[in-house]
């Protein structure tokens, strides 16, 4: 028996079964149904063409620029290590010959003095002549040996394999579910709370020492810190030193030798925060209406620019933290009268504000608010008042708030871990 068309209010007999929707339709509605499906292809084609145009216009150089900078930095550091070894071994080679030459020079001077004395006194003996002749003969033999000296330089090929460099895509961090603490390094009362890291070590203070922690979370080096409070610290890959802000002074820490050097080329100010680009050091002052100073790193640390209010902040505001990233400065600012907190992204060249994000935190205590850089140009603000971490996107939106009960003070990304510094210790979270 014939079936009616499945279309609403259609009494015509069906002429075919549509494979895609499994409906029996008359010729008219079958044609309309087919035309409707075909019409949906045009917008899809437009979207595909738009995606193709977008793919063609991708700025690959911009996407990979940060990675290329790191590769170039690695190349330069490797070349520097090779140059240092070459200079050291060249010096050793020269010293081997110099020692022989100096010894012969001393003997030659002695003989010259002896001959000059005999000539001056106009008196000598056969024994003197024989002794001098023998000595001169010996000197000639030694000179011949020096001139004929050969050195065997044992070298080994420099083996570099792919494992030295890992190229991987950085996945977007999701801190909404922060992993449990995998390790805590406890600290005595009175230890400084700021932390920072380079590619190899995390720098922390465990009273009375400055300590370097390796990626296995072990303290591997330490040195006595007998100076005043540490307000901030950062790493400079250019001068290969940690920079520490201690009130009015700056100190450089060598992670190889653990030597501590006072920077004496900077005028004393009440400093609070520090950060570095590839070429410059930035410092902010510990005062209302904070200033930001820009310094050269090489050949010495010297002032080249100072920004003041209103470029830095308003007249009743204090800059708590500055962090450099790709030509910008992340700036944590407290408004003293409103007791409010915000994070601003500013141009590191002009200090123009790119975006500003305020938080609902009330700043009642006199404790420094800090932030750190995350992957993908995102930010983490440490809110000790509300006991939480504030995850901010690269375009200045609040991404998530992570409750954190311990006495928050500072944080840092290190060796695929989020390291959180509290009043009593340093907590390590795997990412």
Q: What is the pLDDT of residues 171-201, one digit of tens each?
A: 678 888 899 999 999 999 999 999 999 999 9
- Residue whose pair of structure tokens reads 């959180």 in the numeric block: 420
pLDDT (mean) for 236-257? 95
Of the pLDDT bands very low, low, confident and very high (cuts 50, 70, 90), residue 155 is confident
Name the token pair of 284: 């902010």
Strand partners, 128: none
pLDDT (mean) for 325-329? 95
CA gap 300, 113 in Å, rounded? 50
List of E strands, 5-44: 16-18, 23-25
What was the pLDDT predicted at 157?
A: 81
User: Nearest 5°: phi and psi at 429?
Assistant: -120, 125
CA gap 304, 424 in Å, rounded? 39
With 80 as the cut, is the pLDDT of residue 403 above it? yes
Q: Out of 11-15, 47-51, 341-345, 401-405, pick the least confident.
A: 11-15
* Whether 247 contacts 270, CB under 8 Å: yes
The larger pLDDT score, comparing residue 36 to residue 430, is at 430
pLDDT (mean) for 209-215? 97
User: Nearest 5°: phi and psi at 273?
Assistant: -140, 155
Q: Which residues contact 310 (CB under 8 A, 6 or more apart)?
A: none
Strands 417-422 and 408-414: antiparallel
What was the pLDDT predicted at 170?
A: 63
Of the pLDDT bands very low, low, confident and very high (cuts 50, 70, 90), residue 169 is low
* Whether 416 contacts 429, CB under 8 Å: no
Of the pLDDT bands very low, low, confident and very high (cuts 50, 70, 90), residue 333 is very high
What was the pLDDT predicted at 373?
A: 96
What was the pLDDT predicted at 357?
A: 97
With 80 as the cut, is the pLDDT of residue 152 above it? no
Q: Average pLDDT of the chain? A: 89
Q: Which residues contact 186 (CB under 8 A, 6 or more apart)?
A: 424, 425
* Integer angstrom CA distances of residue 322 from 73, 234, 283, 344, 350: 23, 10, 8, 10, 15
pLDDT over 90, % of the chain: 54
pLDDT over 70, % of the chain: 98
Residue 371's nearest CA partner among 337, 397, 333 is 333
Sheet (strand 196-197) strand order:
196-197, 202-206, 209-213, 219-224
3-state DSSP call for residue 360? coil
What was the pLDDT predicted at 358?
A: 96
Of the pLDDT bands very low, low, confident and very high (cuts 50, 70, 90), residue 425 is very high
pLDDT (mean) for 231-239? 95
DSSP element (H, E) containing 69: helix 60-121
Residue 291's nearest CA partner among 314, 269, 307 is 307
CA gap 111, 60 in Å, rounded? 74
Of the pLDDT bands very low, low, confident and very high (cuts 50, 70, 90), residue 115 is confident
Of the pLDDT bands very low, low, confident and very high (cuts 50, 70, 90), residue 1 is low
Exposure b/e, 259-280, CB count within 10 A at least 16 = b: ebeebeebeebebbbbbbbeeb
CA gap 120, 99 in Å, rounded? 32
* Whether 260 contacts 218, CB under 8 Å: no
* Whether 29 contacts 5, CB under 8 Å: yes
For the chain, percent helix, then strand, then coil, each to nearest 5? 30, 35, 40
Of the pLDDT bands very low, low, confident and very high (cuts 50, 70, 90), residue 12 is confident
Strands 292-296 and 303-307: antiparallel
The DSSP symbol for 238 reads: T
pLDDT (mean) for 81-101? 84
Q: In this predicted model, what pLDDT tens digit does every residue of 266-284 receive, in sequence order?
A: 988 999 999 999 999 999 9
The larger pLDDT score, comparing residue 10 to residue 275, is at 275
Residue 203's nearest CA partner among 181, 226, 234 is 234
What was the pLDDT predicted at 410?
A: 96
What was the pLDDT predicted at 171?
A: 67
- Residue whose pair of structure tokens reads 């996107």 in the numeric block: 393
Strands 241-246 and 232-236: antiparallel
Of the pLDDT bands very low, low, confident and very high (cuts 50, 70, 90), residue 290 is very high
Name the token pair of 251: 């100190």
* Whether 383 contacts 341, CB under 8 Å: yes
* Whether 401 contacts 388, CB under 8 Å: yes
Residue 400's nearest CA partner among 179, 173, 176 is 176
């Amino acid at each position: 028996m014939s079936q009616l068309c499945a279309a609403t209010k259609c009494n015509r007999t069906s002429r075919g079964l549509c494979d895609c929707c499994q409906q029996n339709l008359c010729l008219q509605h079958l044609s309309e149904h087919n035309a409707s499906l075909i019409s949906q292809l045009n917008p899809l084609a437009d979207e595909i063409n738009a995606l193709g145009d977008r793919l063609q216009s991708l700025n690959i150089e911009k996407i990979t620029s940060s990675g290329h900078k790191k590769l170039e930095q690695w190349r330069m550091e490797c070349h520097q290590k090779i140059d240092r070894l070459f200079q050291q071994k060249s010096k050793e080679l020269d010293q081997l010959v110099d020692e022989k030459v100096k010894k012969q020079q001393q003997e030659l001077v002695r003989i010259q003095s002896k001959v000059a004395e005999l000539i001056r006194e106009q008196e000598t003996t056969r024994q003197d002549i024989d002794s001098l002749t023998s000595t001169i003969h010996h000197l000639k033999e030694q000179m011949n040996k020096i001139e004929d000296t050969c050195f065997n330089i044992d070298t080994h090929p420099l083996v570099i394999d792919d494992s030295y460099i890992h190229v991987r895509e950085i996945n977007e961090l999701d801190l909404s579910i922060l992993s449990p603490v995998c390790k805590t390094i406890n600290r005595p009362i009175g230890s400084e709370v700021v932390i920072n890291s380079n590619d190899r070590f995390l720098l922390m203070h465990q009273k009375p020492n400055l300590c370097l922690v390796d990626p296995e979370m072990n303290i591997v080096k330490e040195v006595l810190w007998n100076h005043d409070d540490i307000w901030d610290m950062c790493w400079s890959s250019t001068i290969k030193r940690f920079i520490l802000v201690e009130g009015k002074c700056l100190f450089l820490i060598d992670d190889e030798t653990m030597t501590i050097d006072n920077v004496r080329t900077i005028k004393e100010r009440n400093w609070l925060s520090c950060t570095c680009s590839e070429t410059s050091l930035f410092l902010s002052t510990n005062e209302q209406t904070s200033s930001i100073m820009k310094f050269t790193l090489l050949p010495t640390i010297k002032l080249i620019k100072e920004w003041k209010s209103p470029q830095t902040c308003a007249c009743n505001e204090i800059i708590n933290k500055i962090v450099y990233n790709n030509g910008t400065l992340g700036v944590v600012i407290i408004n003293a009268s409103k007791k409010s907190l915000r994070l601003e992204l500013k141009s590191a060249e002009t200090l123009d504000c790119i975006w500003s994000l305020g938080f609902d935190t009330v700043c009642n205590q006199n404790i420094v608010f800090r932030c750190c850089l995350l992957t993908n140009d995102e930010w983490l603000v440490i809110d000790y008042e509300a006991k939480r971490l504030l995850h901010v996107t690269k375009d200045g939106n609040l991404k998530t708030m992570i409750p954190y009960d311990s006495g928050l003070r500072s944080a840092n990304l290190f060796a695929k871990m989020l390291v959180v510094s509290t009043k009593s210790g340093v907590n390590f979270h795997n990412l």
